[in-house]
Amino acid sequence: MKRDRTVAMLGYALVILLLAGPFAPRWAMFLTNIALCYGIAVLGMMLLMRTGLVSFGHGLYFCLGAYAAGTLEMLFGVSDMALMLLAATVLSGVVAAILGLLLRKYREIFFAMLSLAFSMILYGLLVKSSSLGSSDGFNVTARTLFGFNLANAPYERYVIYAITVICAFAAAVAIHKYLASHNGRLAGAIRDNELRVEYMGASVRNTIHVNYIISAVLAGLGGALAGISVGHVDPVMAYWTTSGEFVFIAILAGTGNVLAPFLGAAIFETIRSFAYEYSPNTWQMTLGITMLVVIMFLPGGVWSLFARARKAA
């Protein structure tokens, strides 16, 4: 059996990202920060895709997590980053546990559509909630971390960045372990043939439900981190285009390895930032063409290039 180097690679990435942070230019650190937030959300998407499901409504949890973090400060005056993240993951998990009761019965396009409907309901609600800033959203600031004061400290940005890096690392390792576990291996079997999985005595619906909750928690965590990093949340996070971006990144990257979503998110954010900078009217076109090229020539996503190279070595 081949040695599993994924965790080691994740470890290297963690150390490099943490060390490089203070020396990197601010824009690069911010870009990495946002890419990691998206990467965490897409990691959840990847888990769902490995189960054979595509959600066109994961923006729901991304937005829910961000708003959970934000409202904690706005309504209850709690602005500790750790508590914000905790609130985001718990809320996403609870909502996913409830919605999962319904969604676990759905497959394919119907799963995608029902999750789309749920996220659009949240969008519609938020746009009309004037106490939460309607369509403008509101600002979010994490003032403390485990009680240590962050506000106005020169290293504030770096701390947020470092927390994001650590969260991404933890999430990736956890999902990697999970995929190798009993439940994780069932995912691929369910994608291939549900009926046989049922014949062999495993519950397809339970597995899907659990995976759905995990992916929602990740999306919520990513959303909360994104909200805190950007310093602002708005309802567009629940709009279908956000969910579409997650699916986009997952397809772009491929679902072969837990590193893939982060790679995909990095590529996506880089294209978006640079294309937006240099030709604001064609950045979507760039993304679309990239997407078509990947679908046509790299059905396994960008990650399959690495996998192929490693196999050849």
By CB under 8 A, name the binding residues for another protein: 54, 56, 102, 105-106, 108-110, 112-114, 116-118, 120-125, 127-128, 193, 195, 240-241, 244, 247-248, 251, 281-285, 287-289, 291-292, 295-296
The residue (of 61 and 123) whose beta carbon lies closer to another protein is 123
- Minimum distance from CB of 14 to another protein (Å)? 31
The residue (of 118 and 161) whose beta carbon lies closer to another protein is 118
The residue (of 28 and 295) whose beta carbon lies closer to another protein is 295
The residue (of 231 and 288) whose beta carbon lies closer to another protein is 288
The residue (of 129 and 149) whose beta carbon lies closer to another protein is 129
Q: Going by C-beta distance under 8 Å and a sequence separation of 6 or more, which residues neighbour residue 262?
A: 13, 35, 36, 39, 43, 168, 172
Tell me if residue 55 falls in helix, strand or coil: coil
- Minimum distance from CB of 240 to another protein (Å)? 5
- Minimum distance from CB of 82 to another protein (Å)? 32
Tell me if residue 232 falls in helix, strand or coil: strand
Tell me if residue 148 falls in helix, strand or coil: strand
How far from chain centre, in Å, is Cα 93? 14
- Minimum distance from CB of 129 to another protein (Å)? 9
Select from 271, 251, 250 the least CA-distant residue to 261: 250
Cβ burial 58-89 (10 Å sphere, 16+ → b, else e): bbbbbbbbbbbbbbbbbeeeebbbebbbbbbb
The residue (of 123 and 303) whose beta carbon lies closer to another protein is 123
- Minimum distance from CB of 164 to another protein (Å)? 27
Give me the count of residues in the chain.
313
Backbone dihedral angles phi then psi of residue 232, each to the nearest 5 degrees: -155, 145
Contact 202, 27 (CB under 8 A): no
Select from 145, 146, 214 the least CA-distant residue to 175: 214
- Minimum distance from CB of 67 to another protein (Å)? 15
- Minimum distance from CB of 243 to another protein (Å)? 11
Distances 269 to 29, 93, 112, 124, 204 between C-alpha atoms, Å:
12, 27, 24, 27, 35
The residue (of 14 and 300) whose beta carbon lies closer to another protein is 300
CA 171 – CA 166 distance, rounded (Å): 8
